[in-house]
Amino acid sequence: MLDSTLLDFVMEEHKKNAPGRELSFVVGGEVSIRQDPWWWLVVAVAAIIVLLVMLLPVPFREIVLFARDGILVTMVVTVASYFLILIVGLLGGLGRISKNKLIFGLASLYVEVVRGIPLLVQLIGWYFASPVIIQKLGLWLNLQALIEYRPNPIITAIMAITVCYGAYMSEIVRSGIQSVPKGQMEAARSLGMSHFQAMRHVVLPQAFRVILPPMGNEFIALLKDSSLVSVVAVADLTRRGREFMSAHFNPIETWFMVALLYLIMTIVAARVVSYIEKRSKYERY
């Protein structure tokens, strides 16, 4: 699920930028264990999980069955947040290079403030503080819908993560845009393109290739940091693990299996990122 989302995103980018061109322009872009030996680690971790579940169904099969909805929640939170982070990051990154002082100032303030506050604090703050603010606002405006507002934990968590990671992504996008030589924008403008058209068709496609590796890193970091949402009543993999441990009192087995489940997700994601990187490389000046 997360694999195809990332891949689709990249394929779409390519289709827009280079209609009719194959995605692969570099030999070695094919996925295979021979090309990318790290796939062996994926195989090994998957084998350990399968063996444990088959050979020791109590407690490992029970843990996996108990936590499977948590795995789904972890994936949904990660992928949904990442999609929103890409949008916030693009807008924030463009704001950070804007010549308009107000836009630049707001974008910079956002990045500087949000980066200075721990994600956990932001999550808890959003979860507990935002409903109170919204309800107070409802009382003030006398709007019944706002007064009766009850936070949806998953949506609140996705919003908090998006605001936090969006700041980091903004800086990645900014650095990517600034890595494209100034002459590219000049050449595009001199052909009569508007600033927007030049950004869209010339600068951003090149920036995108530069920032693919850090963007992939952000995805993997996000997948791991999504475990923090377990403190705000989201039943993700970590929270489900804690619940299982409390019920059966077997911390060693529980956290070993939870760790393996996170590991299989992150190393598969890492392989997909590395695959996309290899495929979208092109020779630069």
Binding residues for another protein, rule: CB under 8 A, are 17-18, 21, 25, 181, 183-184, 186-194, 197, 201-202, 205-206, 209, 282-285
Q: Which residue, 25 or 38, has its beta carbon nearer to another protein?
A: 25
Nearest residue (CB) to another protein, 17 versus 108:
17
Comparing CA positions, the residue from 229, 275, 282 lying closest to residue 78 is 229
CB neighbours of residue 62 within 10 Å? 19
Contacts of 160 (CB under 8 A, 6+ apart): 119, 122, 123, 125, 126, 127
Burial class for 146, CB neighbours closer than 10 Å (0-12, 13-18, 19+): middle
Least CB distance to another protein at residue 275 (A): 19
Taking CA atoms, 238 is separated from 17, 125, 135, in Å, by 40, 20, 30
CB of 186 to another protein, least distance (A): 6
- Closer of 12 and 69 to another protein (Cβ): 12
Residue 194 C-beta: closest distance to another protein, Å: 6
What torsion, rounded to 10 degrees, do the Cα atoms 62, 66, 69, 71 define? -60
Q: Where are the alpha helices (DSSP H) in 180-250?
A: 182-190, 195-198, 204-225, 237-248
Nearest approach in angstroms of CB 190 to another protein is 5
Min dist CB 193 to another protein, Å, is 6
For residue 277, the minimal CB distance to another protein (Å) is 15
Closest CA to 215 of 45, 85, 48, 94: 85
In the complex with another protein, the residue whose CB is nearer, 120 or 193, is: 193
